[in-house]
Chain A
């Protein structure tokens, strides 16, 4: 396959960036999207140019490091992470636009790399349970109802990639925050911090400069892990309950 790429190039956080066109040839449909970018970077290095910076780690779709808005869609046209997106989703001769996540809370570091540490600070403000560490407790000591376990697991699937923020027209982190709030608040282990968790995490989310939710639904459509939009409804309910109970 022969492709025309238009890649966002930005030297550093302060420099202005532009969409820069590149031609790549000899792309196999079996390559992953990141392997295609590796091919581009090899070519750039051989030409003595600066390779395109992009985030990646496990390349198995489970770590949440990769990002990229491809042709206007976070993680590209398939419902998966960019590393699990294959070039068979594109056609020979296509022009592909590659941009970083766009949100005020995710400043661009270089090219396609953005700083997602705002997510870490949201987690630090309540995305944990306070429990004594040491040997694992007896598994039957705390009974977890099956429906609660299922809900918790569904929301624990969030890998924190930030596609929800990138897809949201308001740059809102509601789906990310709600995934963690619902995950821990559905479990008996999360019950002692049920109120402070949601109040603090929403507070941090607002302080980081993310937008509000307009129930557009773009986040849940973009989410590679299928976190449902109902997650946000549940967090709204938890928030009002916690504000009343404080």
Chain B
């Protein structure tokens, strides 16, 4: 007779993932990719503003009718909102918990930070008076600016999302707040100096966040390997640049009068 050594209930797949640092990063990578895919679609939708008010407003109205008649009016929009909120919350909670842990794991700072790239030293004479042996000095590549600003960049993006929803979804803080007329509301927001500043700063933070985040997600999901590293780094840079430029194009056009 074989003894039953198994416990009745084994921890679930998601439970095992969420309890480990590796799995929590997986959750961050997956939720990050969900948000990234949404942002690509969102940016393409935003660019419709260049075709004029009727085009943009009818596009916004169409978004509420996706899936009809199978889905009721605005249901698709609400499903998308629930998925996005879940992604943002997962991403933020995992980031907060991991950051707390990371800071606790490194309680003492070094007296002198790593100098990064250093100049070649003056070569001293060897004791035998012969030719000095050149040291194999390491050109240490320090973590990039994008990498070092992930946490604060994430906080900036979180605050921006709150303002952005209050401004253009609920219209609570919008200077015009005319429901059903998103084109006019967008122009009203970007006609204020603070609207432009908040938006452009947040989009620059977004670019930096994606630049490290996309490649980091490839690394976390185990998709990265020697032959693909350049591809993922290149894709991350292209995505970061396209999204930043695509989003910033709107406030810049309002400021320059291209869109009014």
Contacts and interface: CB of A to CB of B under 8 A. Distances in A.
Partners in one complex: yes
Interface of A: 1, 6, 8, 19, 28-30, 69, 71-73, 77-80, 86, 88-92, 97, 99, 102-105, 167-172, 174, 199, 202-203, 205-206, 209-218, 221-222, 228-230, 232-240, 243-244, 246
Interface residues on B, range: 35 or more
Where chain A touches its partner, the secondary structure class is: mixed
A106 B10 CA distance: 33
A88 B135 contact: yes
Going nearest first, the 7 A-B pairs with the smallest beta carbon separation are A237-B222, A211-B105, A170-B102, A212-B21, A171-B105, A211-B102, A171-B106
A217 B143 CA distance: 7
B223 A214 contact: no
B138 A91 contact: no
Q: Residue among B10, B26, B142, B143 with the most chain A CB within 10 A? A: B143
Interface stretch (B77-85, B111-119, B244-252): B111-119
B222 A212 contact: no
Contacts of A171: 102, 105-106
Nearest to B150: A214
19 contacts: A8-B111, A29-B125, A71-B115, A80-B136, A88-B132, A89-B137, A91-B121, A97-B112, A169-B106, A170-B105, A211-B101, A211-B103, A213-B25, A213-B220, A217-B141, A217-B143, A229-B219, A233-B223, A243-B17
A29 B126 contact: yes
B106 A168 contact: yes
A72 B110 contact: yes
A73 B114 contact: yes
A8 B108 CA distance: 12
Contacts of B220: 213, 215, 233, 236
Contact of A89 (B103, B121, B229): B121
Contact of B219 (A88, A92, A232, A243): A232
Given A1-B124, A72-B115, A236-B22, A230 B98 contact: no
B104 interface: yes
A222 B143 CA distance: 12
Interface of B: 10, 13, 16-17, 20-26, 98, 101-115, 118, 121-127, 132-133, 135-138, 140-143, 147, 150, 212, 215-216, 218-226, 229
B80 to A, nearest CB: 26
Given A99-B110, A236-B222, A214 B102 contact: yes
A243 B138 contact: no
B135 A78 contact: yes
A232 B212 CA distance: 16
A232 B115 CA distance: 25
A201 to B, nearest CB: 10
Nearest to B26: A240
Contacts of B104: 104, 209, 211
A231 B146 CA distance: 22
Contacts of B127: 28-30
B126 A71 contact: no
B109 A230 contact: no
A214 B147 contact: yes
B147 A72 contact: no
